[in-house]
Structure 1
């Protein structure tokens, strides 16, 4: 299978690298410094089980997606519209776009923007770009994808590449479950610039996270979203399984970049307002992150 990764940061490089390592034809569409390093030395894929250089194509241009049967759509939620427009002239008619993004609205937005099949995936991975062309995997890595015309083929490819993958009829609920985790951890990790393991040891932090989660669950209930599994156990498990991981929001703020907070705690605030559900804890975290962003700029 030919696979294009649009927005090959940590998430895109990890999953694209795993597919390339399994023998698929993969092209990473990434920032110039990553493309230069990958073209020169290959993608360094450093996981908990191996540290290898994977030979994979790389480009800064969306046109590199030409001929791809599968496009892993990994750009920030804030860049969904512009990235979709850049890809549009280069997509094969039967290409599947698989959104590996934070938030709950991106796959729907892709379906509005492009006349191609788009499906959502829920991503559970701790990864970071440790340098140009160097992705470091810190934990987990499983995917949950929604049914599509190619879901069986895509799931099989990921599983054969040692990426645990399930197909679910309730990806909306799974996306919300991931959203709750992000709302609980991302902003607090960003504000404190602490990894998850140290963050939860802070005085009053777990209680504050409890308030955030309760608001998220109240909004989900009002929005007729069925969240699978034990949310409280999942929240606790994040700090246990990814103790050294900084949130993507923390990494964005540390680099002076705009974060996805509008699509995380900000989404809870907006949906809460629309549904008449108060969300003061999420509102405060959203406001603080936005203020830090503006200070950095």
Structure 2
């Protein structure tokens, strides 16, 4: 039971219309540049200012870093493939792309949970906040997120690596993911499908439910606060909740249904690989006074000196 017959796959991409491909390559290139610049701007602003000392921004800098890594596992190949005659990917590259996409994506999920825990501690346990969320705890949460994601990703690869692929070799997707690959295996993969729905699907749903419950608790606690405190807490929580919904809903739609919905999965995947990472920087900065102030301080220093 080897996979020696197939050494490379053909990615069918998002669609087959040649004219649309050129336009989309330009559009997605702009999206990718926006993702890189927006997330790096947040990352450098947090690292270059005092904001990084606060747990919320400490996690946000990691989230921005992960957004860049996650999109970079998919976007550059996807954009160049739109212009290529035939989009091929070797067996090993395919597995590597799948591993990294799952690794960065799952780390991001766990970091979002850590951010929800941080907001819960700040709003519901304000007196013990600095004790609960000290720097060691923050580092442990980041390490635990990466470890959990690593285990999850290795499991996905182990499910695929033991399957024989003897043809056809056309993947109905624009990057290598588990479900499209399972459809190409030469043996019955119903158990593997159940395994993936159980791991990724249940992980997505449980995390999403946990996040929603935690924000409900946080918002109910806010009723007792002053209107100024409530307004500030709502603006940060509002950003988090928006990001959580944008990231999780397409993810749940992708990994919870059966394998037959791959064509829809491509559209949903576009949401969490390109659209959510592009809007995250905007969501976190537009409604955040601290972030705007820090950006002014970090990026407008030269103007300040010139004005003196």
Please give the TM-score of this superposition, normalised by the length of structure 2. Answer: 0.24
Structure 1 or 2: more strand by fraction:
1
More helix by share: 2
Normalising by structure 1, what TM-score?
0.25
Which structure's relative contact order is higher, taking Cα pairs within 8 Å and 6+ residues apart?
A: 2
